Amino acid sequence: MTASLMHTRNIAIIAHVDHGKTTLVDKMLQQGHVFRDNEVVEERVMDSNALEKERGITILAKNTCIFYQDYRINIVDTPGHADFSGEVERTLTLVDGVLLVVDAFDGPMPQTRFVLNKALRMGLRPVVVINKIDRPGARPVEVQNEVFSLFIELGATDAQMEFPVVFASAKKGIASLDAEVEGKDLIPLFDTIINYVPPPEVDENGPFLMQVTSFEYDSYVGQIALGKVVRGKVAAGETIARVVDGALVEKNKVKKILSFEGLKRVEVPAAKAGDIILIAVFEDLRIGDILSDVTDLGSLPPIEIGEPTISLEFMVNNSPFCGQEGKFVTSRNLRDRLMKEIRTNVALRVEETASPDAFKVSGRGELHIGILIETMRREGYEFQVSRPHVLYKGEGAQRQEPYEYLVVDVQEDYVGAVIEKLGPRKGEMLNMAPQKDGHVRLEYLIPARGLLGYRSEFLSDTKGTGLLNHTFHGYGDYKGEIPGRINGALISMETGETVAYALEGVQDRGVLFVGPGVKVYEGMIIGAHSRPTDLAVNPCKKKHLTNIRSSTAEDAITLVPPKVLSLEQALEFLEDDEILEVTPEALRIRKRILNEQERRRASKK
Asked whether residue 16 is marked as a ligand-binding residue, the answer is no
Q: Are 121 and 156 in contact (CB under 8 A)?
A: no
Asked whether residue 134 is marked as a ligand-binding residue, the answer is yes
Asked whether residue 78 is marked as a ligand-binding residue, the answer is no
Sign of CA dihedral 477, 481, 485, 490: positive
- Measured between alpha carbons, how far is residue 452 from residues 102, 311, 498, 571 in Å? 28, 12, 30, 9
Which residues have a Cβ under 8 Å from the Cβ of 168 and sit 6 or more positions away? 24, 129, 130, 131, 133, 174, 175, 176, 183, 186, 189
Beta-carbon-side half-sphere exposure of residue 275 (alpha carbons within 13 Å)? 23
Indicate the helix (H) or strand (E) that contains 9: strand 8-15
Which residues have a Cβ under 8 Å from the Cβ of 302 and sit 6 or more positions away? 288
The conformation of residue 566, written as its DSSP 8-state character, comes to P
Asked whether residue 541 is marked as a ligand-binding residue, the answer is no
CA angle 150, 154, 155 (to 5 degrees): 120
Q: Where are the beta strands (DSSP E) in 421-563?
A: 428-434, 439-447, 467-477, 489-492, 496-497, 510-512, 519-520, 525-529, 535-537
Q: Are 563 and 512 in contact (CB under 8 A)?
A: yes
Q: Cα separation of 393 and 379, whole Å?
A: 35
CA angle 279, 283, 285 (to 5 degrees): 75
Return the closest-CA partner of residue 280 out of 212, 210, 221: 221
Q: Cα separation of 520 and 599, whole Å?
A: 18
Asked whether residue 296 is marked as a ligand-binding residue, the answer is no
For every residue of 146-199, DSSP letters joined together read HHHHHHHHTT--HHHHS--EEEEETTTTEEESSTTS--SSSHHHHHHHHHHSPP
Q: Cα separation of 568 and 325, whole Å?
A: 21
Asked whether residue 21 is marked as a ligand-binding residue, the answer is yes
Helices (H), 345-453: 366-378, 415-422, 448-451
In total, the chain counts a number of residues equal to: 605
Asked whether residue 19 is marked as a ligand-binding residue, the answer is yes
Asked whether residue 96 is marked as a ligand-binding residue, the answer is no
Asked whether residue 470 is marked as a ligand-binding residue, the answer is no
Helices (H), 443-482: 448-451, 454-461
Q: Cα separation of 127 and 116, whole Å?
A: 11
For every residue of 295-364, DSSP letters joined together read SS----PPPP-PPP-EEEEEEE--STTTTSS-SB-SHHHHHHHHHHHHHH-TT-EEEE-SSTTEEEEEES
Q: Cα separation of 520 and 506, whole Å?
A: 15
Q: Are 462 and 454 in contact (CB under 8 A)?
A: no
Asked whether residue 344 is marked as a ligand-binding residue, the answer is no
- What angle do the packed helices 454-461 and 415-422 form, to 10 degrees? 160
Binding site for GTP, residues? 18-23, 131-134
The annotated binding site is made up of 18-23, 131-134
